[in-house]
């Protein structure tokens, strides 16, 4: 897809007609999801790019996110002028890939899937959240997938082409982050090593509960998980000294959350690079798991009320490992 000029034109017509029926955004609980990609495509209807349409339907509804979350790029790629410029050539720049991905999103019933994710996150956590998300097609080399602050998050829909795993696992994982960060983001321990550890561990634990994914698949392959559990105490002893350091000082810990590659890793002799880059997720997951084992069924939801420091201490994880 597309296979020929004739089929290409017919497929594009189908996509335009289907996108016109898609809402511009949805709201579930306190979370709004903007389908920016819809209006990026519709701005090219009839073979003519509509710069006013892209301003009114794509840029203005997401201007807060562009101005605050995307402002770290060295060039003003998300200013109005630049947004109009790169959207005007977007379909040409990506050629058939953008049509392929849009068709895939339609086939995955993207609207129903996102609504299902939002309802599930709120039902399972018991929190309604307060955030705005943008699902969009970025300019080449300037995409963002993830949160910038507790109120804004973006999903680069060209990051993974025709990848069901991204839609079904990564996106609900990221949505849960906004729930937690809205609740705990002002706690002084949120911006420390233990804050990152609980934040990522909780999102992974939620993913395990929501999608019924066994621990071995959440943490890696069965072989990788066996290695992690066998070396759990060593992993804890290496990473734990950074739990109560602020993020600049906790840089070596952040390496193992795949958040910072400029620091030296604390553990190097891992079976795979994936394991090395994600040791922190394993540790966070095990702390949340231990909290529920120690404090009773569904007690992991206490994380939305407790300081990360208190949650960690009440988990009994350190005592469990060192007894």
152, β-bridge pairs: 132, 149
147, β-bridge pairs: 153
Q: Which two tokens stand for residue 243?
A: 């739990």
The answer to whether residues 294 and 314 touch, using CB atoms and an 8 Å cutoff, is yes
pTM passes above 0.75: yes
pLDDT at 10: 59
pLDDT at 9: 52
What are the mean pLDDT values of the chain's consecutive 10-residue runs (323 residues total)?
Answer: 43 91 95 95 93 97 88 88 95 87 94 94 93 92 79 88 89 91 94 96 95 86 93 96 95 90 90 92 97 97 98 97 86
Determine the Cα angle at 240 with ends 304 and 152, to 5°.
40
The answer to whether residues 143 and 78 touch, using CB atoms and an 8 Å cutoff, is no
Residue 98: helix, strand or coil by DSSP? helix
Find the length of the chain: 323
**Cβ-count burial of 7 within 10 angstroms (0-12 exposed, 13-18 middle, 19+ buried)?**
exposed
pLDDT at 57: 97
- Start-to-end Cα distance in the chain: 59
The answer to whether residues 255 and 264 touch, using CB atoms and an 8 Å cutoff, is yes
């Amino acid at each position: 897809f597309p296979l020929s000029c004739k089929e290409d034109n017919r497929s594009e017509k189908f996509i335009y007609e289907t996108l016109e029926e898609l809402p511009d955004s949805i709201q579930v609980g306190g979370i709004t999801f903007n389908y920016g990609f819809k209006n990026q495509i519709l701005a090219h209807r009839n073979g003519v790019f509509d710069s006013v349409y892209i301003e009114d339907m794509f840029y203005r509804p997401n201007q807060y996110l562009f101005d605050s979350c995307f402002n770290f790029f060295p060039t003003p790629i998300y200013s109005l002028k630049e947004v109009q410029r790169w959207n005007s050539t977007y379909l040409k720049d990506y050629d058939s890939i953008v049509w392929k991905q849009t068709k895939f999103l339609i086939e995955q019933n993207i609207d129903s899937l996102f609504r299902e994710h939002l309802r599930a996150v709120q039902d399972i956590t018991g929190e309604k959240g307060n955030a705005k998300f943008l699902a969009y097609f970025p300019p080449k080399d300037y995409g963002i997938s993830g949160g910038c602050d507790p109120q804004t998050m973006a999903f680069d829909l060209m990051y993974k082409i025709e990848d069901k795993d991204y839609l079904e696992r990564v996106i609900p994982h990221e949505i849960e982050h906004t729930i937690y960060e809205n609740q705990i983001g002002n706690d002084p321990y949120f911006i420390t090593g233990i804050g990152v550890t609980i934040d990522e561990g909780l999102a992974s634990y939620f993913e395990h509960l929501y999608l019924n994914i066994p621990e071995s698949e959440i943490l890696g392959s069965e072989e990788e998980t066996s290695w992690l559990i066998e070396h759990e105490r060593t992993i804890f002893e290496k990473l734990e000294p950074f739990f109560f350091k602020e993020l600049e000082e906790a840089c070596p810990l952040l390496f193992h959350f795949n958040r910072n590659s400029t620091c030296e890793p604390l553990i190097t002799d891992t079976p795979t690079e994936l394991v090395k880059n994600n040791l922190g997720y394993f540790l966070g997951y095990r702390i949340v798991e231990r909290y529920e084992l120690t404090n009773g069924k569904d007690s992991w939801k206490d994380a939305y009320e407790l300081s990360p420091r208190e949650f960690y201490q009440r988990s009994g994880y350190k005592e469990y490992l060192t007894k």
